[in-house]
Amino acid sequence: MNGKHLFGSRGQFIAFVDRWNVYAANGSYIGFLREDRVHRPDGYYLATVVNDRLVREPAPPKHRVDHRPLPPHAAASVPVDPFGRAPIVLPPGFSDVRL
């Protein structure tokens, strides 16, 4: 996944992906992407990417991911604000992520 914008359920721009690194909308590093799940730098689950939305699963995994990548050595370039998306109804049990 390269250069993907991520939104909350209300359509607000909250994060973006640069290769496997995930950053908050302000450019701060929040974790890494493994398949469709975002994990914090310590390896614990943070959120799941569903299409272009960043949401939290109802029963997130409790284990840490092995083989965590090194944090980025340089700050990411914050992309242009994509003007948001239309609100969606969250899948049953899912919730918004607080960054």
Q: How far apart are CA 53 and CA 13, in angstroms?
A: 9
Model confidence band, residue 1 (pLDDT cutoffs 50, 70, 90) = low
Q: How far is CA 54 from CA 13, 18, 67, 70, 73, in A?
A: 10, 15, 23, 22, 24
Has residue 81 got a pLDDT over 80? no
- Predicted TM-score of the model (pTM): 0.87
pLDDT reported for residue 23: 95
Model confidence band, residue 67 (pLDDT cutoffs 50, 70, 90) = confident
| Residues whose CB is less than 8 angstroms from the CB of residue 48 and which lie 6 or more positions away in sequence, other chains included | 36, 37, 38, 54, 55, 56, 57, 94
pLDDT per residue over 22-62, tens digit each? 999 999 999 999 989 999 999 999 999 999 999 999 988 88
Domain boundaries, the chain: 4-96
